[in-house]
C-alpha cells in the first residue's frame, strides 16, 4: 500500500482509519473521500475529495488524479438504516461497491471492504460460527454483505484484483459515532453512562453479539492488507472478533468504573429481530492462521479506555 483512497472517510471506521493510515503511510498518501465536506480537523491535514460512491465516473477520476494503488471502500448504510430503506440500501451498498471494485480493476489497485457478522442469518450455527458455513441472512444489510463478499471474490478470480475483507463484529469507538447500526447500543451506553449515569438499552438482556474495540479493528485491516497474498486461503471475508457479550455484561463492566450506573431495557422490535438473527459468537481461527489476526482489548480494558477518553472528550470526570 503506498497511495490509498478511502471512501466513507467520515464514518465510524473511516474517521479513525484515515488518521491511522496517514500516521503510517504519510498524510499526502491517504486520500479521504466522503459525500460531504468534513468539519473534522484531522482531515484538513491531508487530501480530501467530495465523492458520492454511486458516481463511478468520479471515483475513477479521483483514483487516477492521485494515482492510487489501494482502495478501502467503507461507504455503506448499516443494518438498521438498511432495513428501514431497503431499496436505497441496495442501490448505495451494491452500486457503491460495484463502482469501487470496477475502479480497483481499472487502476490495478489492491482492494479492501468490510463485511460483517450481519452476513450470517438465523440458520447459521449460532455459537463459534465457522469461517465457511450457511449464510442466509434475513436483512437487506446481510444480503448486501453476502453479495458483496461474492462480488469481491469474483473480482479476484475473474480479473485478478487483490481483494480482501473481514467480517467485522460490532465496533466500539469514541471518535465518530456509528450511525444506523444494530450494535450502536454498545457505543451509546458509554456516552450515556458518563453524561447521565444511566442507559436504556434497545437490545434486550441475554442478546449476545460479537464486538471489537476500534484500535483492534484498525490493526486487523492493516495487518490483512499487508499480509503475504500467497498465504491467503480465504479473502472475502475473514471472521474476526475480540469478544462476545450481552448488554448486561457491558453494564457490569461500566459499573466497575461508575458504581452508580443504572441500566434499563426497552427492546426495539426491529433491531432486536436483527440482533437475534446474528450469531452469538464467531470463530476467527482462519484469520489467525492465514494472516496472524490478534486483538488486545477485552471488555474491561475497552471500558476503561472508553470512559477515560470519553470523559476527556465530553470534559466530564467520571472515573471512580
For residue 183, state whether it binds ligand VAH (rule: CB under 6 A). yes
Q: Which listed residue (170, 239, 244, 247) binds ligand VAH by CB under 6 A?
A: 170
Considering only the stretches 51-59, 128-136, 177-185, 300-308, report the one whose residues sit in contact with ligand VAH under the rule CB under 6 A: 177-185
Q: Which listed residue (56, 96, 148, 181) binds ligand VAH by CB under 6 A?
A: 181
- Rounded distance between C-alpha atoms, residue 266 and residue 250, angstroms: 16
Residues contacting residue 54 through CB under 8 Å, at least 6 positions apart: 91, 92, 95, 96, 99
Q: Residue with C-alpha cell 444506523? A: 180
Per rule CB under 6 A, count of chain residues that contact ligand VAH: 14
For residue 53, state whether it binds ligand VAH (rule: CB under 6 A). no
Residue 14: phi, psi to the nearest 5? Answer: -55, -40
Q: Please say whether the dihedral angle defined by the alpha carbons of residues 282, 165, 221 and 226, taken in this order, is positive or negative.
A: positive
Q: Which listed residue (7, 18, 19, 79) binds ligand VAH by CB under 6 A?
A: 79
**Per-residue contact string for residues 90-129; x = within reach of ligand VAH by CB under 6 A:** --------------------------xxx-----------
Residue 163: phi, psi to the nearest 5? Answer: -95, 140
Q: For the CB of residue 271, give the shortest distance to ligand VAH in the complex, in Å.
A: 8
Considering only the stretches 150-158, 178-186, 295-303, 311-319, report the one whose residues sit in contact with ligand VAH under the rule CB under 6 A: 178-186
Nearer to ligand VAH, 121 or 170 (CB): 170
For residue 182, state whether it binds ligand VAH (rule: CB under 6 A). yes
Q: Which listed residue (8, 178, 247, 279) binds ligand VAH by CB under 6 A?
A: 178
For residue 47, state whether it binds ligand VAH (rule: CB under 6 A). no
Residue number of the CB closest to ligand VAH reads 181
The verdict on whether 213 is a catalytic residue reads: no
Q: For the CB of residue 257, give the shortest distance to ligand VAH in the complex, in Å.
A: 24
- Structure-block grid coordinates of residue 85: 430503506
- Rounded distance between C-alpha atoms, residue 32 and residue 10, angstroms: 8
Q: Please say whether the dihedral angle defined by the alpha carbons of residues 207, 210, 215 and 221, taken in this order, is positive or negative.
A: negative
Catalytic residue from among 25, 66, 141, 208: 141
- Structure-block grid coordinates of residue 190: 458509554
C-alpha distances out from residue 9 to 25, 114, 223, Å: 16, 13, 19
User: The sheet that has 115-116: what strands, in order across it?
Assistant: 115-116, 166-168, 238-239
- Rounded distance between C-alpha atoms, residue 195 and residue 313, angstroms: 11
Which residues sit at the interface with ligand VAH, rule CB under 6 A?
78-79, 116-118, 141, 168-171, 178, 181-183
Active site amino acids: 141
Amino acid at each position: 500500500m503506498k497511495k490509498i483512497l478511502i471512501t466513507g472517510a467520515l464514518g465510524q471506521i473511516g474517521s479513525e482509519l484515515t488518521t491511522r493510515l496517514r500516521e503510517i503511510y504519510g498524510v499526502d498518501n491517504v486520500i479521504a473521500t466522503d459525500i460531504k465536506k468534513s468539519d473534522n480537523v484531522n482531515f484538513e491535514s491531508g487530501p480530501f475529495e467530495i465523492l458520492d460512491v454511486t458516481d463511478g465516473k468520479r471515483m475513477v477520476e479521483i483514483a487516477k488524479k492521485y494515482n492510487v494503488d489501494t482502495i478501502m471502500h467503507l461507504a455503506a448504510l448499516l443494518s438498521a438504516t438498511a432495513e428501514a430503506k431497503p431499496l436505497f440500501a441496495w442501490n448505495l451498498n451494491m452500486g457503491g461497491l460495484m463502482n469501487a471494485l470496477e475502479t480497483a480493476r481499472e487502476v490495478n489497485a489492491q482492494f479492501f471492504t468490510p463485511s460483517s457478522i450481519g452476513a450470517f442469518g438465523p440458520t447459521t450455527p449460532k455459537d463459534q460460527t465457522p469461517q465457511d458455513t450457511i449464510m442466509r441472512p434475513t436483512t437487506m444489510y446481510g444480503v448486501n454483505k453476502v453479495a458483496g463478499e461474492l462480488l469481491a471474490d469474483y473480482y479476484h478470480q475473474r480479473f485478478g484484483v487483490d481483494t480482501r475483507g473481514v467480517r467485522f463484529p460490532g465496533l466500539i469507538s469514541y471518535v465518530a459515532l456509528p450511525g444506523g447500526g444494530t450494535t450502536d447500543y454498545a457505543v451509546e451506553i458509554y456516552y450515556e453512562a458518563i453524561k447521565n449515569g444511566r442507559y436504556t438499552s434497545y437490545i434486550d438482556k441475554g442478546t449476545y453479539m460479537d464486538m471489537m474495540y476500534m484500535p483492534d479493528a484498525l490493526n486487523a485491516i492493516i495487518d490483512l492488507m499487508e499480509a503475504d497474498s500467497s498465504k491467503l486461503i480465504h479473502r472475502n471475508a475473514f471472521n474476526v472478533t475480540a469478544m462476545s457479550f450481552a448488554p448486561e455484561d457491558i453494564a457490569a463492566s461500566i459499573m466497575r468504573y461508575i458504581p452508580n450506573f443504572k441500566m434499563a431495557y426497552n427492546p426495539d422490535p426491529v433491531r432486536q429481530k436483527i440482533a437475534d438473527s446474528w450469531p452469538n459468537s464467531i470463530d476467527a481461527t482462519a484469520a489467525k492462521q492465514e494472516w496472524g489476526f490478534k486483538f488486545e482489548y477485552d471488555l474491561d480494558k475497552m471500558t476503561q479506555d472508553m470512559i477515560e477518553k470519553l470523559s476527556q472528550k465530553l470534559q466530564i470526570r467520571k472515573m471512580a
